[in-house]
Structure 1
Amino acid sequence: MLKSVTLENFFAFQERTTIELNPGVNLLLGINGSGKTAFINALRLLSEGIVGDGLNKLINVTWGGFDNIVNANNGENRKDFFKLQFVFSAEMVKRRIQNSRFETDLKYEIVIHSKGMQDYSVEETLESIPKKQAQKPFSYLINKDGKGRISVRDGKPQNRNACIQLENYSGDLKDKELIASQALDRKRYLPIYMFRQIVFQMAIYNYFDTGILKVPPFYSPEKRLTHDGTNLPYLLVQIRRDDEMYKKLEDSLHNVNPNYKELYFEPYASQLYLSLKERNIKHPIGINFLSEGTIQYLLLLSIFYNKNRGKIVALDEPERGLHPDMIKSVGDMLKFAAKESQLIVATHSPLLLNQFELDDIIIFEKNESNAVTIRKTTEDDFPENDGPMLPGQMWLRGQIGGKRW
């Protein structure tokens, strides 16, 4: 669904940098600090800003203020803004979002200006991208510091063919938050509502603290894994109701653990305790006694073998904590999920890379100015190679970049 993301002055990204994305698998490859997590953070800002806890909490609480986010390569002369632009494919949106009525690609841009350590202003635009150069884009939303114009339906709300026009707005709006998160009237602000439905289909995962998962969680009705994974037991119970998905999940567990028998769910007051049963062991093994790798693997299974995983899934280093012989199974999960979802996955695993094509890999590097640069390679770039091209081996040999030497 995402065709491209453009970043400027955002964490490790200094100059305006556009990253083109595949509709299926996108593997982000590069050394530590090369910008992979910064790219995933751009997706997180979009998701949190529109359908999550909001910009202010993310910028000032989670990330510690504007100065921690804006690129610092220019020292005292650094710019006082950062900019993110997201282009969505109308064709892919129609395939994956029910009742989408966008006929042309969408461009959504966010610009955050500094007004002090804990203060900032917001610019925001949502517009169509014309199919022909002679045509002008149509703006669904123009926001500058809480004031601007927004598209509304002209006519009776129940009229499906009511035309969309722009009107001025201001008033009781939070100027530190995105207008796309606040225009909630589905009938009046239909295009904004539909765009928010697209963003709602994003699931962003940075890092799982498996320590907090060892405490039985309270009930959660969420249909996909939360960003911290704390709803894992309740989500697995939901997936168990889907015979096809649960069979794939259990087959994967059998594949990496031949002694696996079943997952066991035990009510604990108003909480739910997850355990794992193994052959020839009398008692279930509680989650607080499971290895970090086993818990990480269960988290991955609950993401990728869940039909409600989201249409855009971003994940940082899924191989973290896993034994190398489990990586083949992770690749199988990604390939399965990519049939219905766009996947954006940062990795340092050559074994995972070997399961995909060079076209699936986006290479992150740093230039002489310590700014992020992006490139891609194809098999055509290596005419001298004889035989199958394994991206993981090519990466370790330094053929495709993404290494220090």
Structure 2
Amino acid sequence: MSRKNAISKLTIKGFKSIRSLDRFSLSDLNVLLGANGAGKSSFVSYFQMLSAMMDGQLKAWTLKQGSADRVLSFGVKETQEISSFVKFGLNGYKFTLHPTSEETFVFERERLFFDGPLHGPTWIPLDAGYTEARLPRVYEKETLEAGFRRDAAKYCYESISNWKVYHFHDTSDTALVKRSSSVANGEELDSDAGNLAAFLYRLQEEETEVYENIRRTIKLAIPYFEDFRLRPRKGKSDDEVVRLNWRQTDSRYVFSPSQLSDGSIRFICLVTALLQPDPPSTIIIDEPELGLHPYAITLLGALLKSAASRMQVIVSTQSVPLVNEFSPEDLIIVERDQGETVFKRLDEDSLASWLEEYSLGELWAKNVLGGRPRT
């Protein structure tokens, strides 16, 4: 998927703590920096909602949040709708959601946008009054007339469906990443890395250079790690399954994934996501530094910067060591103003004198950048 599918402008209104974010610019690398409760998770949750919409699962996603009232900014008594416009390349996707008496949402409006040299700015309506996004159905059935309008529907659906939210926080004993996964499910890395073993096995077989790069990078942060031992076996349904077993240096003993620390598993997931071949055009990762030791965080910063040359990266953090790995133009300060989440870019020139003596992380810790808890 081409980098032209990356997001250039984003408008979100009435969604969770984001009462109004208007035509906000996103670049190749976007590091959301803010304290707990500032609204970074609301930003990530917006993309999870988009993913659910493209899967025809908006109703299920909304009920999982609790109800539409929990999704609307400060509840239905204060906010009557969610509206959004996301622009990527020459195209865009705009929708407005209204809450229903069943505590879910109905589409009050859904439109595609196309701004090409032959047609100029053009809006393509997809109807209204339904509970699941119409765009996936238009894409599947190709009901729009031939020409640029059908092409716009195809482009918009494939672009939005390609954006991926990664969440590697679950490293419990029952986490999917620690269990066997079907070899057939190794084409692309799942959002929770539940198919990590199958994905790495495919890379080991088909993309040996990529696999070796992943292995070497993991070893930088986990020196005792030598390699994975990925051996398919018959599963309960006669399909082949593989587990994330591994070996350490100078030993033939095979360890299970449960014998890796939580931080090590998360780092392995992050390295695989950031070094994967044919990556999504945009990836979103919430607090990737969780459970990592300082050197692994330094490596993570380098990986994120490198990945931004191949894909658009959006990451949220509150880690001083991780912030130190970036430039002021990479940062988006997230904080609360009168209860709602606001986003701002930094003015690098105004920080020049500060940066002569302090790192970016130190400036954030001193509350020079903003985004710190307010007393």
1:120/1:176 contact within 8 Å kept: yes
2:17/2:42 contact within 8 Å kept: yes
| Superposed CA offset, 1:15-49 (max 9, x none) | 35443111x11000111111111111112222221
Distance 1:76 1:202 in 2: 29
Runs (4+) of structure 1 exceeding 4 A deviation are 129-132
Quote the residue 1:66 is aligned against: 68
Q: What TM-score do the two structures reach when normalised by structure 2?
A: 0.87
Residue 120 of structure 1 pairs with residue 105 of structure 2: yes
1:297-336 pair list within 5 angstroms:
297-336=267-306
Distance 2:258 2:170 in 1: 13
Distance 2:58 2:77 in 1: 25
Quote the residue 1:148 is aligned against: none
Residue number among 171, 181, 202 corresponding to 1:217 in the alignment = 181
1:10/1:69 contact within 8 Å kept: yes
Q: Post-superposition shift, 1:332? A: 2.0
Single out whichever of 225-234 and 12-21 deviates more from structure 2: 12-21
Residue number among 219, 237, 248 corresponding to 2:201 in the alignment = 237
Q: Post-superposition shift, 1:308? A: 2.6
1:124/1:143 contact within 8 Å kept: yes
* 1:312–1:400 distance in 2 versus 1, CA, 3 Å: same
Distance 1:353 1:386 in 2: 13
Residue 377 of structure 1 pairs with residue 346 of structure 2: yes
1:300/1:318 contact within 8 Å kept: yes
Distance 1:355 1:76 in 2: 41
Distance 1:333 1:266 in 2: 28
1:4-403 pair list within 5 angstroms:
4-22=9-27, 24-50=28-54, 52-60=55-63, 62-72=64-74, 77-88=77-88, 90=89, 105-122=90-107, 123-129=109-115, 137-145=121-129, 175-183=130-138, 184-186=140-142, 188=146, 189-211=150-172, 212=175, 213-240=177-204, 241-270=206-235, 271-367=241-337, 369-385=338-354, 387=356, 390-403=359-372
- Three-state SS of the structure 1 residue aligned to 2:220 is helix
Q: What TM-score do the two structures reach when normalised by structure 1?
A: 0.81
1:67/1:117 contact within 8 Å kept: no
- Aligned amino acid, residue 5 of structure 1: L
Gaps of 5+ in 1: 91-104, 146-174
After superposition, the CA RMSD in angstroms is: 2.2
- Three-state SS of the structure 1 residue aligned to 2:283 is strand
* 1:223–1:378 distance in 2 versus 1, CA, 3 Å: farther
- Aligned amino acid, residue 86 of structure 1: V
2:62/2:68 contact within 8 Å kept: yes
| Superposed CA offset, 1:140-183 (max 9, x none) | 333211xxxxxxxxxxxxxxxxxxxxxxxxxxxxx211111111
| Superposed CA offset, 1:319-362 (max 9, x none) | 11111111111112212211110000001111111111000000
| Superposed CA offset, 1:165-222 (max 9, x none) | xxxxxxxxxx211111111135953321122121132111245312212222234434
| Superposed CA offset, 1:263-297 (max 9, x none) | 11133432211112112444111002211111111
Quote the residue 2:238 is aligned against: none
Q: Post-superposition shift, 1:389? A: 5.8
Single out whichever of 179-188 and 325-334 deviates more from structure 2: 179-188
Q: How many residues align?
A: 353
